[in-house]
Amino acid sequence: MPNEPDHAEFARLVEEGEASGRRYLEFLRRPAMSAGLYALAAGDEDPQQPHAEDELYVVVEGRATVHVGGDTRPVGPGSVVYVPAEMPHRFSDITEDLRVVVVFAPPESRPTN
């Protein structure tokens, strides 16, 4: 994958994600990890299911509540959340449009919504 960029501009990712109409836009895939931008509008329901990979969420914009297993907490810009593989998780009570950088390790094997 030598021709793939090793960097991304947040504003460009937001534009691409909105243009695609998808909630998740992958922007990096390497043998050991993948990364993407996950976006949910205020009031949306988060439809995601557990993934086969560990995940790291970094909230860039917005406010919501995150549920990971039995833990529930508010998140906003700067929040970092680790989700172990196969752990049920979702965002709820999305009060401001949410944009989250998601890192999967190893690379994501199933698409998200």
The enclosing domain of 88 has a CATH number of 2.60.120.10
Question: Is there a domain that residue 97 lies in?
Answer: yes
Question: Is there a domain that residue 17 lies in?
Answer: no
pTM listed for this prediction: 0.88
Query: Comparing C-alpha atoms, which of 63, 53, 47 is closest to residue 100?
Result: 63
Those residues whose C-beta lies under 8 Å from the C-beta of residue 56, and which sit 6 or more positions away, are 80, 81, 82, 83, 102, 103, 105
Question: Is there a domain that residue 15 lies in?
Answer: no
Which pLDDT belongs to residue 8? 78
Question: Is there a domain that residue 36 lies in?
Answer: yes
Question: Is there a domain that residue 18 lies in?
Answer: no
Amino acid at 33: M
Q: Domains in the chain: how many in total? A: 1
First-to-last alpha carbon distance for the chain, in angstroms, is 25
Q: Which residues of the chain have pLDDT under 50?
A: 1-3, 112-113
Question: Is there a domain that residue 16 lies in?
Answer: no
Which pLDDT belongs to residue 3? 46
| Domain ranges, residue 93 | 23-105
Which pLDDT belongs to residue 11? 85
Which ranges of the chain does DSSP label H, i.e. alpha helix?
A: 10-20
- List pLDDT tens digits, range 96-113: 999 999 999 999 986 544
Query: Which H helix or E strand runs over 14?
Result: helix 10-20
Question: Is there a domain that residue 44 lies in?
Answer: yes
